[in-house]
Amino acid sequence: MSFIEDARWFSATPTAGPAGKPAAQGRVTLVGAGPGDPELLTLRAVKALRGASLVLYDHLVGREVLRYVADDADLIYVGKESSQHTLPQESIIDLMLRLARSGRSMVRLKGGDGFIFGRGGEEAQALAEAGIAFEVVPGITAAQGAGACAGIPLTHRDHAATLVFATGHLRGENEVALDWQALARPRQTVVIYMGMGTLPVICEQLVRHGLPAATPAALVEQASLPGQRCITGTLQDLPTLAEQHKVRPPALIVVGEVVALQPQLMRGMQGAVL
């Protein structure tokens, strides 16, 4: 594999076609890499990675996942971290379209599932508008990985009949634009992606809109990876716990009564491992 650090200089020259005919246009496979553990990749994702000659991959895709890429493939890093973008999204889409037209078999690889807060929908839309054939391989999203690995069932007949995913990104002047009233409903589990930077605001608003301050809540850091941590508490003390334990992204915020089951389930899971 060859890692290409600066995608701006990568050649996207179309593959030559038969004399008098236009070059063949490549096919793009949008692949979800799962929450991090390479064993949680789907068989279809592994097949796509092994068959690709070119892979555009994001920040949350681990090196262990990239081991499934063919030895002669080129890998281009186009990752985005908070306030640190190798390429802005518009440039990533432009690069993807140019490379797709070069005729190579390409995988666009994203952590988790590309259609859940991964901008996979925007990229699929761009491919469709450009007339470029593509397929989508779903991945286990981070919330599923966090729940399964940290011992938090996202739904439960006694505690949560509704499951909501939301993003905690800032919008405008330090504003988290969420439907707080909907998120603060009882008997549901709320999982918030990309919310560590706005954790105090999130907890404050959920309490202000009706959830008790004692509602169980958790932070799951590096879900499914060797460095995974799960910090449990309540909406009231979660921001303080995050500071005390120095929790850093990637981390998910999980809110709801199901979090209270975590100690019991983890005891059982650890016993099974032992």
Global pTM? Answer: 0.89
pLDDT along the chain (274 residues), means of 10: 57 52 74 97 98 95 94 91 69 94 93 96 97 97 97 98 92 76 97 96 97 98 96 98 97 98 94 60
What's the rounded Cα separation, in Å, for the pair 163 and 203? 18
Residue 86 is predicted with a pLDDT of 61
Query: What pLDDT shows up at residue 9?
Result: 45
Amino acid identity, position 128: A
Q: Which of 127, 98, 101 is nearest to 114 (CA)?
A: 127
Q: What are the DSSP calls for 54-114, one per residue?
A: EEEE-TT--HHHHTTS-TT-EEEE--EETTEESS-HHHHHHHHHHHHTTT--EEEEESB-T
Provide the pLDDT for residue 189. Answer: 98
- Residue owning tokens 């892979």: 55
Q: What is the pLDDT of residue 169?
A: 79
Q: Identify whether 58 is a catalytic site residue.
A: yes
Provide CATH 3.30.950.10 ranges for the chain: 143-273
Report the alpha-carbon distance of residue 262 to residue 118 in Å, rounded.
Answer: 27
Q: Identify whether 47 is a catalytic site residue.
A: no
d(CA 140, CA 55): 19
Q: What fold characterizes domain 2-140?
A: Cobalt-precorrin-4 Transmethylase; domain 1 (3.40.1010)
For CATH 3.40.1010.10, the residue range(s) in the chain are 2-140
Beta strands 251-255 and 188-193, pairing class:
antiparallel
Tokens at 103, concatenated: 């005729």
- Residue 160 per-residue DSSP state: B
Q: What is the pLDDT of residue 274?
A: 44
Selected catalytic residue, list 37, 58, 74, 113: 58
Give the C-alpha separation, 167 to 194, whole Å.
6
Backbone angles phi, psi at 229, to 5 degrees: -135, 145
Asked if residues 36 and 86 have their Cβ atoms less than 8 Å apart, the reply is no
Cβ of 195: how many Cβ atoms within 10 Å? 23
> What was the pLDDT predicted at 270?
84
In tens, the pLDDT along 14-30 reads 555 555 455 557 789 99
According to CATH, what is the number of the domain 143-273? 3.30.950.10
One-letter amino acid at 266 equals M
Q: Structure tokens of 5?
A: 């650090």
Identify the pLDDT of residue 2: 65
Phi, psi of 206 (to 5 degrees): -65, -40
Angstrom distance (rounded) from CA 59 to CA 4:
14
Query: What are the E-state strand segments in the chain?
Result: 2-4, 28-32, 54-57, 74-77, 80-81, 84-85, 106-110, 134-137, 162-167, 188-193, 216-221, 229-234, 251-255
Give CA 188 to chain center in angstroms.
Answer: 22
